[in-house]
Every structure is written in C-alpha cells, then in structure tokens.
C-alpha cells in the first residue's frame, strides 16, 4: 500500500472528524472532498474507485457516529417521535441508493450523470441559502442614531419578545412532529438515497437542520441529537449491503490497511472538534455549512478537471459573488453617508418557549 495514499486518507478522516464534532455536520462531505481532490489530481495512486470512497467513508462514519451518539444518547429518548419520522423511509432510500451504486459501478456514464444531477441540486441550494444569509446582513436593524424617531425605535425595541425558559424536549418533539412531520419523512428518504449512492447522508440533513436552527424552529441541543442519531442509523444501513456484496468484499480485503488507518486519527480529531465546537454560533454554523456545500458541489461538477459544466458553475459563482460585492459596497456607502435604510418591520412572532413581555406585564 502506497504511503502517500494512507496519508491522504488519514488527512481526510482528521478534517472530517474535526468538522463533524465541531458543527454536527459536514464530516462525510469533507472526507469525500479531500479524497476526490487528491484522486482527480492523481496526487497519490489508488483513489480512483468511487466504491472505495464509499467503503472508506463508511469506516469513517462507523468510527465517529457511535462516539457522537454516545455523547448525546441520554438526550435522544425524549425526541423519539421525530427520530421515527426521520428514519421511517431511510432504509428504503439507502437500499435504492446502494443498489444503484453497485449496478452502475461499471457503467461510469450513468453514475456520473446521477452525481452531476445531485451536485447541481446542491449548488442551487447553497447559492439560494447563502443569498438569503447576505440579505439578512443587509437588512440588519439600524442604530437609534440613524433613525430620526430614536425614542420610537427604542420603544419598539423594548416591546421585543423576552426569552423565557427553554422548551422541554418532549414538548419540542411533539411540536416538530406536528409542524414538520412530512418534511422529516421526505428528508429521511432523500438522505437515505444519498447515503447508499455516494455515502453522503449529510447534504440535505445539514442544510435543513442548520436553516431550522438559524430560524429558531429547533433548539441547538435537539438539532445535534437528531442529526447524530440519524447519522448512526444511516451508517449501519449503509454498512449492511456493502459487507454482504461480493464485489465490495474484494475491495475490503484489498484495501484493509487504508481502513485500519482511519479510526485512531479520526477519534483524536473528534475530541478536538468537540472542544472547539462550543465557540460556534448558529449563524456562523449555517454559513460555514453552506460554504462547504457550495465548494463540494463545484468539485463534484468537475471544476478541478476543467469540465465545461464545472467551469460554467465557477463563472456563475463569480458573477453571483460580484453582484453581492456590489450590493455590499452600496450598503456600506449608504451607511457612511447616513442614508435611511429600508423600513424595518418588527417581527412580533414569538419563538417556541418565549414569552411576550407585553402579555407578561398585563398578566401582572
């Protein structure tokens, strides 16, 4: 076994484990990204097989998922309803994805077509969500000095909801099932399909939960518990068909040194990422996840190989960034000149578990 190949696999495992523990998402995406970049540039030999990438990614997940689930396992029981909905169609999706992977292992054109379609979808989702994040920055509330009726602005600010005790896990679980039950079922099916096909259950999961976390629809603790529980389920589902398939068994035997090199470095990086993860806020988490998804989709579209679709996506990304830069420059200039920003509507909606200060005062 080539020593450089082992180094690349270990590097991919370390990067993926650190990000996974720090944010709760993106571990498999980063592992696959490092693997794919080194394979496309032919930095080291032995990384050409997409099936091998899924096998090594499964070893990575089997190393990290049980550990992270054990860290939050006690908090998983109150969220059992949401976990059932999320995992209900995960198994059929994983079986379908694994079947398609094995059937198209020799037919590279079909497999590449499916992956291209998925990467286009991920690219559009990342650009759309990041655009929304930039808009939220531009729509930041003005300071009282910039508003002529400063006292009125302060009154509106004083009427904003006051945070109360956090919502109980059982109550949050019931609310999630009632309000987002169908979304959780569809999310489990789509993530299961990606899990079996490319070994990446995370893209849909991380965008959905990071967005829900940023908008206050779910607490940070519940988001982490649900994602780690789901990733453990998808890892076990992915492992079963890969172990019992004759073709993949041969790959296991041929590449066991690579698989054996993953666990120890991944566990060390997992511990470090867990410590550093306490510094992440929800907004920064969502933006980092979306940036990672955008980069991953560009790589998947063949940017490193100078494919037409990859270059077209890069050109579109540069144009999109230029538009955002122009918008940001205009925003800064308006701030410097003291121009009035757009009228800000005060959001009266009270997130779950919060109490309106006005209602509280009237009750007293």
**Tens-digit pLDDT profile for residues 330-344:** 877 777 766 544 444
Predicted TM-score of the model (pTM): 0.70
Q: What is the pLDDT of residues 169-202, one digit of tens each?
A: 899 999 999 999 999 999 999 998 888 887 778 7
Return the higher-pLDDT residue of 9 and 38: 9
- Percent residues over pLDDT 90 in the chain: 20
**Minimum mean pLDDT range among 38-52, 146-160, 243-257:** 146-160
Instruction: Tell me how far apart the alpha carbons of residues 124 and 133 are, in angstroms, rounded to a whole number.
Output: 14
Residue 67's alpha-carbon distances to 22, 223, 252, 281, 341, in angstroms, are 13, 17, 23, 23, 48
Instruction: Tell me how far apart the alpha carbons of residues 200 and 58 are, in angstroms, rounded to a whole number.
Output: 10
Q: Name the pLDDT band for 285 (thresholds 50, 70, 90).
A: low
217 within 8 A of 177, measured Cβ to Cβ: no
Residue 300's pLDDT is: 77
Angle at 299 between CA 297 and CA 305, to 5 degrees: 145
Return the higher-pLDDT residue of 167 and 208: 208
101 sits in the region (left: phi over 0; alpha: psi -120 to 50; else beta) called: alpha
Q: Name the pLDDT band for 270 (thresholds 50, 70, 90).
A: very high
289 within 8 A of 206, measured Cβ to Cβ: yes
Helix (H) and strand (E) counts for the chain? 16, 0
Residue 282's pLDDT is: 57
Say if residue 86's pLDDT is above 90. yes
Of 40-54, 76-90, 320-334, the range with the highest mean pLDDT is 76-90
Query: What pairs with residue 162 in β-bridges?
Result: 355
Residue 139's pLDDT is: 57
Q: Name the pLDDT band for 286 (thresholds 50, 70, 90).
A: low
Closest CA to 167 of 177, 175, 156: 175
Instruction: Tell me how far apart the alpha carbons of residues 243 and 213 are, in angstroms, rounded to a whole number.
Output: 36
Q: What is the pLDDT of residues 112-163, one digit of tens each?
A: 787 788 788 888 888 887 887 777 666 555 444 444 444 443 444 444 444 4
Q: Name the pLDDT band for 105 (thresholds 50, 70, 90).
A: low
Say if residue 55's pLDDT is above 90. no
Residue 201's pLDDT is: 81
The average pLDDT across 10-26 equals: 87
Instruction: Enter the DSSP assignment of 168.
Output: P
- For residue 65, how far is the Cα from the chain centroid? 15
Instruction: Tell me how far apart the alpha carbons of residues 258 and 57 are, in angstroms, rounded to a whole number.
Output: 11
Residue 138's pLDDT is: 62
Residue 175's pLDDT is: 93
Residue 138's alpha-carbon distances to 2, 146, 187, 236, 285, in angstroms, are 50, 15, 31, 43, 19
217 within 8 A of 223, measured Cβ to Cβ: no
Return mean pLDDT, the chain: 78
Closest CA to 296 of 3, 27, 6: 27
Residue 159's pLDDT is: 47
Residues belonging to the chain: 364
Residue 36's alpha-carbon distances to 45, 48, 69, in angstroms, are 12, 8, 27
């Amino acid at each position: 076994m080539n020593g450089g190949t082992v180094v690349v696999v270990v590097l991919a495992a370390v990067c993926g484990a650190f990000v996974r523990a720090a944010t709760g998402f993106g571990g498999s995406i980063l592992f696959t990204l490092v693997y794919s970049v080194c394979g496309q540039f032919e930095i080291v030999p032995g990384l050409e097989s997409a099936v091998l990438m899924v096998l090594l990614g499964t070893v990575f997940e089997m190393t990290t998922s049980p550990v992270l689930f054990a860290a939050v396992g006690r908090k998983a029981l109150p969220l059992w309803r949401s976990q059932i909905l999320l995992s209900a169609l995960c198994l059929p999706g994983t079986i379908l994805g694994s079947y398609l992977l094995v059937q198209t292992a020799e037919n590279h054109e079909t497999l590449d077509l499916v992956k291209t379609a998925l990467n286009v979808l991920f690219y559009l989702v990342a650009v759309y969500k990041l655009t929304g994040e930039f808009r939220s920055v531009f729509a930041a509330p003005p300071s009282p000095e910039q508003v002529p009726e400063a006292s009125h602005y302060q009154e509106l600010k004083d009427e904003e909801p006051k945070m109360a005790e956090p919502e109980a896990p059982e109550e949050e679980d019931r609310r999630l099932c009632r309000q987002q039950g169908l979304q959780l079922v569809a999310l489990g099916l789509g993530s299961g399909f990606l899990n079996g096909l490319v070994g990446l259950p995370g893209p849909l999961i991380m965008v959905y939960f990071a967005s829900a976390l940023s908008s206050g629809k779910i607490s940070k603790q519940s988001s982490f518990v649900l994602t780690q529980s789901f990733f453990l389920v998808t890892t076990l589902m992915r492992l079963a068909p890969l172990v019992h398939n004759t073709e993949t068994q041969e790959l296991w035997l041929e590449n066991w040194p690579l698989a054996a090199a993953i666990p120890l470095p991944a566990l060390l990086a997992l511990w470090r990422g867990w410590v550093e993860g306490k510094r992440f806020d929800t907004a920064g988490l969502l933006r980092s996840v979306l940036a990672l998804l955008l980069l991953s989709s560009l790589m998947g579209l063949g940017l490193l190989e100078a494919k037409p679709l990859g270059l077209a996506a890069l050109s579109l990304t540069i144009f999109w960034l230029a538009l955002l830069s122009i918008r940001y420059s205009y925003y800064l200039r308006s701030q410097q000149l003291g121009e009035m920003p757009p009228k800000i509507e005060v959001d009266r909606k009270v997130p779950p578990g919060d109490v309106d200060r006005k209602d509280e005062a009237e009750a007293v």
